[in-house]
Amino acid sequence: MKKIMIILVSAAGFLLPAGGVLAFLLNKKVAQCHKGSGPEAVEACTLLIKYSPTPMLKAFFLGDRSAHYEKLGDKQASLEDLKTLVSFDESGGFKLGAPLLMKIYGKLALVNGELGKEAEAVKYAEEAIKLGSSDPSIYLSLGALNIRESRFNESLAYLERAESLGADPADVNFYFALARMGLLDFDGAYERMKKAEPALNAQVLAGKRPQTERGRFDKTMGFICAEKKNYAEAEQYLLKAISSGYPCPECEPALAQLRQAVKAEEEAAAKKTGKKSRLYR
């Protein structure tokens, strides 16, 4: 940080007299951009980007501003700053170097994925991998994107790589389960969901994930259990999904169907034994 400030003050001498009040104010803006937060930090970075005389200096402050935008929830603005950074490297104005470029490509992949820009997300993820990325979130993102495109076997390959790199077990096992569901392997999906559940519970209890993520898990697990004809377990998970507040318009109809299935099975069994079913009447 100190080195960046020295470089900036030196380079800014082309624009402003070095020293005195102006140098003090310039250093203050650098500190706000680099260590600050919120709209004030964005404003400081924007000023520094505007008046920085070289692409190298602009790159420093673009990186900071992109991070501030992301924290403020403005993912599109964060994305644009990252793309501008890449353009510096592509134009030869300022070579970022492979390690930094790899991280930027990875971030571009994740942000594009969050914004639903799947083609862009895949493009940047593949660029990050070409440069040697070992970030499990990149492979996890590619796994999720392939599931959305119904490329389930391709998804499994990316998820296996993510798992080998230490991806969050709550995430990687959940996506493994979705891929297995796509392949109609409900036993494999159930096994992966059971592996995801302890990690997810711990993170929700610690406040690291919202309760709605638990609801998403319960909804998915409810349908997996229903496919396996584990009706009692399916009912338990679907009821938890409904109580969590997670959007699940399918849950009530699914509960009605599985209760009918249980009733039909019990009535069939009762005919064999001559006993009348008492459940789900």
pLDDT recorded at residue 192: 98
Strand extents, DSSP E, the chain: none
Highest average pLDDT, of 51-65, 114-128, 201-215, comes from: 201-215
Domain regions of the chain by residue span: 1-70, 185-281
- Using one digit for the tens of pLDDT, what is the confidence trace for 135-168? 999 999 899 989 999 999 999 999 999 999 999 9
pTM summary value: 0.73
Range from 38-42, 50-54, 84-88 that averages highest in pLDDT: 38-42
User: What average pLDDT does the structure give for the chain?
Assistant: 85
Portion of the chain with pLDDT greater than 90, in percent: 46
Query: Please, what is the end-to-end C-alpha distance for the chain in angstroms?
Result: 71
Give the pair of three-digit tokens for residue 152.
């389930």
Q: For residue 53, what pLDDT is reported?
A: 80
pLDDT for the residue numbered 20: 58
The residues, any chain, with a CB within 8 Å of residue 141's CB and separated by 6 or more, are 109, 110, 113, 121, 125
Of the given ranges (32-36, 54-58, 80-84, 245-249), which has the lowest mean pLDDT?
A: 54-58
213-272 pLDDT tens trace: 999 999 999 999 999 999 999 999 999 999 988 898 999 999 898 888 888 888 887 777
Q: Angle of helix 152-164 relative to helix 169-182, nearest 10 degrees?
A: 160
Record the tokens describing residue 71, joined without a space.
């924290």
Instruction: Please tell me the distance from the alpha carbon of residue 134 to that of residue 115, in angstroms, as a whole number.
Output: 23
- Which listed CATH number (1.25.40, 1.10.357, 2.40.160, 3.30.390) goes with 185-281? 1.25.40
- CA geometry: angle 13, 61, 97, nearest 5 deg: 100
In the prediction, which pLDDT does 23 show? 59
The pLDDT of 105-111, averaged and rounded, is: 88
Q: Which amino acid is at 128?
A: A
Q: pLDDT tens digits, residue range 112-121?
A: 888 888 888 8
pLDDT value at position 274?
62
Angle 205-170-184 from CA coordinates, rounded to 5° = 130
